[in-house]
Amino acid sequence: MKVKVLVVSLLIICMCSLVYAEDKGCTHKPLNPSGGFICVGEAEPYEPPAGPDNGTTETGRTGNWILIDSLGIDRYVEAGKNFSIYFDNGLDSLKVYPPDYEYPLTEASYQALDKAPEWLRNDLRNVLSLINSSYQDEWANAINNANDPYIDEIAFAIAHSSPRYLSSGYGSADLFLENAELIYENDQYLDYVEVVDQGTSGSNENYYSTTKYWKETASKDTIQVEVPKEIYYWYIVHPKITDEIPAYINPNVVESNSTHNNNITDPPVGVFWRNYLFNHADAGYPVLKDMLANCEIVWNGEQNVNPTQTHAAAVITNWINECMSFTSGYERPHQPVRILRKHIGRCGEYADLTAAASRAALIPCTSILAISHDHTWNEFWEEGWVSWEPVNNMLDTPLTYENGWGWSFGSVFEIRSDGWISSVSGTYSDGSATITIYALDSQGNPIDGAEVLLAVLSDPYIYWDNYGLTDNEGKFCFTVGEGRHYYARIDTDIGSSPPNPNQVYSVVNNTVNGQNYTYSLSVSGTMPSLDWTSIDVPEDDVDDYRLEIDFTVPSQIVSGPILMDDVSSSSELYNKENGGIIDYFMTDETNFTWYLIENPFECFNLLPATQQGALTFDIPIYSDWYCIFSNDRHLNNLQNVYGSAKLYSYEETGIDEPQVEQTSFSLLQNYPNPFNPDKIGTTISFSATDPHGLSQIRIYNVKGQLVKNFELRTLNSELNSVVWDGTGMNGNKLPAGIYFYRLISNDFVSKTKKIVLIR
C-alpha cells in the first residue's frame, strides 16, 4: 500500500506547474522563454544531397625506391585551421607545419601525454591546448605525479572535462586523484564486482582498466561479465554526474539555486561524493558500504524491488528510500553530498543521488530526462541499459510511464557526464518516430556545430524538449514519441532561424510511429570557403624523390556548448562521432603562402570533403611541397586525421654514396640575386666534369614548368658558368617572380637553388 501511495504522489508532483522551482521535479536551470516559444511558421521538408566523394587517388610505385623518411599522422584538426606535411627541399626530409597546435603545450603537458594511454592522447592534448599554461601544468602534473593503477582514470577525467571547468579553480589534482583512488578502495569491500587493469603505463601504451561483475541469469546461474571500456570510464570513473560542479562540498551549507557553487570548500570540511555517499551516514541512517557488504550479484533480473532482496540494485534502491523522503523545500541542490545531508528531494535529487551512489558502488549509471514532462530517473548498465527508478522501486519497466501512468512523452534523453545528450525515446514509448533537422547557410551549405533546439506543444504552451549539435553534414537526428506536435529552431555562429530567440518553426504535427521526418532550417550567413583552383599534377622529369600519403578521417569531434552545466553556460562540449571529413590538397611553397594569407591559390591532388586518400607524388625538387589537411571550411567540429607519409629516394641517385673519381659536380648560388635582366643578367656557376655524357642547367617556374634549359657539352675541369638573361625557351621575356634551377647529369642531380627575377 505504501508503494501505491508513493506512485500517486509522484504523478501529482511531477505534473505540477513548470513555473516555480520548488514545485519542479527536475532541478535544471530554466530553458524556456516566459510563456513558452512562439511558432512563426513551418520548416521546409528537406532531401539531403548525396554524401561526399571519398574516391581515392592512387598510383602504384615502380622501380627500386628506398624509404628515407616517414611520419605518422594522428591528430585533431580544429575548425578553421589546418596542418601540413611538407617535403623540405633543402634537407630532403619530411616536416610538419605548424610544428605543433596553435596553443603550445608546456613541458609538463608533453610528459603527461607520454604517460597517459595512447587512446586518450588526442582528447587530452586537445583539452590541455585550450587552457593557459598555469592550469596546464596543474592538470598535467596530476597525471605526472600519479602512479599506477590510477593514471588512466585521472587522465580520462581530465581529457573529458570542459576547458572552462579546468580553468575555473573549482577542481584540483587532489580531487581527481582521490576520485581514482576511491574506485580501487571501494572495490575491496564489494563482492559482486572487481576492478581489472589491462596493462600499466610502463608495459603497454594502450593500457586501460574496467570492471567485471557477477550477475544472475534467467536460469539462475551466476556468471561474470566484463564492462566495456567506454562504459567504465564514462559511467563509473568520471567525477561529474549531470550538471553539478565536481568539487569538494560542505554538506552543511544550503546550496544556492542560482549558482550551485556556494558550498564548494577545501577538505577536511569539504568532502567528495564518491567517499561521502559510500562511507558516511548521519545518525539514524544506514551506511551504503555496510548495506552492500553481503551482495554477491549486481542484479537478478527481477523487476520489482523489495527490502528482502540482496542484489546490489535492490540494496541501493532500499538505501536511497531509507535516506530520502520525496518532498522538497525551496532549496534544490545539484551536489550529491548536499542531497544526502538534506535527506529530501524530488525526482531531480533522487536521480542525481542514485547515479552517484551507484558509481561509488562501481555500477555504471546515468540519468534519464523527459524535460517537457518535468521528470527524471536513471538507467544502470548490466549487459545493456536497464531503466531504474528507486523512488518507485521500479527496475526494467520502461513502459510503465506510458502504459501504466498514461504519460505521452515527447523526447526522452540520456545525459552523459560531459553534457552530451542522446535520445532514448524509443525505449520509453510504445511507438516512436525520428525528426532530422539540417542546418544550412544561405547557399545551402551544411553548418557544423549548429545548436538545434526541439520543442513540443504542451497546451497551451510550446516548451523546450531536446537539444543537439549538428555534425559535418549539418544534421542532428532526434528520436521522439508519437502523437505529438514538434517545433525547432537553430542557433549558429553565422545566424539563427527563426532570428528571434523566443521563436520556433513547426516541423511536424501528430508524429506517427515508425516515420522519419526530415526538415531544413536556413540562416542568412554563409560558411567559410577557400578560393582554390585545381591544376594538373606538376611533372617530374627525374627519378629522384617520391612521396606517398595514405590517410583516413575516421571520426569528427562535434563541438558546442554544454546546455546544462553549473560552471558556465559557455562550457565546451566535445563528442566523438564516426564519419570525419577533411579537405586535402597539395601545393608548392609560393601557393602555400597565398593559401595561408587567404589569397586565391592553385593546388593539385585536390580531394574536397574526403574521408580518405592514398596518393603518390613524384617530387620535382625545385620547391618545398606541401600536403595540406584543411578544416578551414568548418565552424566548430574537429576532424581526426590518421595515416602516414613516406618519402622515398630512387636507388640510382646515389644518395649517401661517393661519386666516381672521374666525375665531380658542384652548383653555386647565382649572382646577382635578385637580378633585373633589363640591366644585367645573372651568372650561374658550376663544376661538372662528366666523361659519360651531357650535363644541363634547367630553370623552372613556381608551377614546376621547365622554362629554360642550358645544354653543357664542352666543360672545363674547374669552374664553368652560364648567364641567364630572364628569357624563356623562345627568347620571350619571362615575368618577374621566383624561379628555381638545378644541375643535371646522367648520374647526378644537384640540390635546387632559387632565383628571384625582378623588373
Distance of CA 573 to the CA centre of its chain: 8
Mean pLDDT of 79-92: 88
Residue pair 349/328 in contact by the 8 Å Cβ criterion: yes
Together in a domain, 177 and 248: yes
Residue 658 pLDDT: 39
With cell 548521519, the residue in question is: 282
**Residue 572 domain flag:** yes
Q: Domain ends where: 417, 439, 468?
A: 417
pLDDT at 716 over 80: no
Residues 174 and 246 placed together within one structural domain of the fold: yes
Lowest mean pLDDT of 176-180, 377-381, 708-712, name the range. Answer: 708-712
Do both 283 and 343 map to the same domain? yes
Band (pLDDT 50/70/90 cuts) for residue 595 is very high
| 8 Å CB contact between 706 and 696 | no
pLDDT band of residue 285 (cuts 50, 70, 90) is very high
Q: Which of 83-87, 339-343, 579-583, 669-673 has the lowest mean pLDDT?
A: 669-673
Secondary structure (3-state) at 738: strand
User: What's the sign of the alpha-carbon dihedral 342, 343, 347, 353?
Assistant: positive
485/506 Cα distance (integer angstroms): 8
Q: Which residue has the cell 579546468?
A: 166
In a domain, 523, yes or no: no
As given in the structure block, the three cell numbers for residue 325 are 523522503
Q: Is the pLDDT of residue 388 over 50?
A: yes
Q: What is the CATH number of the domain that holds 574?
A: 2.60.120
In sequence order, what are the beta bridge partners of 100? none
Same domain, 364 and 411: yes
**Residue 174 in domain:** yes
User: Model-level pTM greater than 0.75?
Assistant: yes
Confidence of residue 540 (pLDDT cuts 50, 70, 90): confident
Handedness of CA 256, 261, 266, 271 (dihedral sign): positive
Number of domains into which the chain is organized: 3
For residue 123, being part of any structural domain is answered with no
At a CB cut-off of 8 Å and minimum separation 6, what does 314 contact?
A: 299, 305, 306, 395
Q: Mark whether 599 and 681 lie in a shared domain.
A: no
Where is average pLDDT lowest: 193-207, 297-311, 313-327? Answer: 297-311
Q: Say how far apart CA 259 and CA 262 lie, in whole Å.
A: 7
Give yes or no: residues 310 and 189 share one domain: yes
- Residue at 211 is within a domain: yes
279 and 381 in a single domain? The answer is yes
Q: Where are the beta strands (DSSP E) in 46-89?
A: 65-77, 82-88
- The residue out of 417, 440, 474 marking a domain boundary is 417
The last residue of one of the domains, among 398, 417, 436, is 417
- For residue 743, the domain's CATH number is 2.60.40.4070
Percent of the chain with pLDDT over 90: 66
Query: How much is the pLDDT for 12?
Result: 29
Residues 200 and 325 in one domain: yes
pLDDT of residue 747: 62
pLDDT at 660 over 80: no
Q: If you average pLDDT over residues 164-176, what whole number do you get? A: 96
293 & 383 share domain: yes
743 neighbors 695 (Cβ within 8 angstroms):
yes
Residues 242 and 326 reside in one and the same domain: yes
Q: What is the pLDDT of residue 28?
A: 66
CA distance 167 to 569: 14
If asked whether residues 217 and 332 sit together in one domain, one would say yes
Domain that holds residue 176: 163-417
Query: Is pLDDT at 30 greater than 70 in this prediction?
Result: no
Asked whether residue 5 is domain-assigned, the answer is no
- Percent of residues, the chain, with pLDDT higher than 70: 90
| Sequence letter at residue 196 | V
Mean pLDDT of 379-404: 93
- Considering the domain boundaries, does residue 37 fall inside one? no
Asked whether residue 576 carries a pLDDT value surpassing 50, the answer given is yes
Rounded to whole angstroms, the Cα distance separating 82 from 85 reads: 10
Residue 484 lies in a domain: no
**Same structural domain for residues 311 and 409?**
yes
pLDDT band at 208 (very low <50, low <70, confident <90, very high): very high
Cα separations (Å) of 319 from 186, 286, 324, 407, 517?
17, 7, 9, 28, 44
Which phi and psi (to 5°) does residue 95 adopt?
-140, 170
Q: What is the pLDDT of residue 679?
A: 84
